[in-house]
Amino acid sequence: MTHDDTFTRDHYRVFYPITTRWHDNDIYGHINNVTYYSYFDSAVNRYLIEEGGMDVHSAPVVAFVVNSSCDYRAPLAYPQQLEAGIRVEKLGNSSVVYRVGIFAAGERQAAASGSFTHVFVERAVQRSAPIPADIRAALESIT
């Protein structure tokens, strides 16, 4: 797939609604760029919790963000309803690279498309660890 494919709805495997908030807007009247990273984090972690059974409070292996980036194509603003589309682009032994698209609800083209990388680590020692089997299965289903 080309980079431009990451802006089309068909590129993504699962979608979650996003309700924008008043404070998401910046002084220019659109969603501030840093807020998109919060949307990425929320969508990916919701997927891990709901589909992979991740217990963020007590699991011995957790996921840390080690890299993220975003390309923007169109402004969005409160009070728009949005959708985050996610898919796995690369699945390793202890890391995963997601692609996350942020869409105005129902739109075919993403307003923003980003990359988001998790490394799984043993909580107690803060060292990389293999992705737990249930989470790996959930991630494989959106590759």
Cα–Cα nearest to 64, from 11, 117, 103: 117
> Would you say the pTM of this structure is higher than 0.85?
yes
- What pLDDT was estimated at residue 6? 85
> pLDDT of 42-83, one tens digit each?
999 999 999 999 999 999 999 999 999 999 999 999 999 999
Q: How is the chain split into domains, by residue range?
A: 3-140
- Fold assignment, 3-140: Thiol Ester Dehydrase; Chain A (3.10.129)
CA terminus-to-terminus distance, the chain:
13
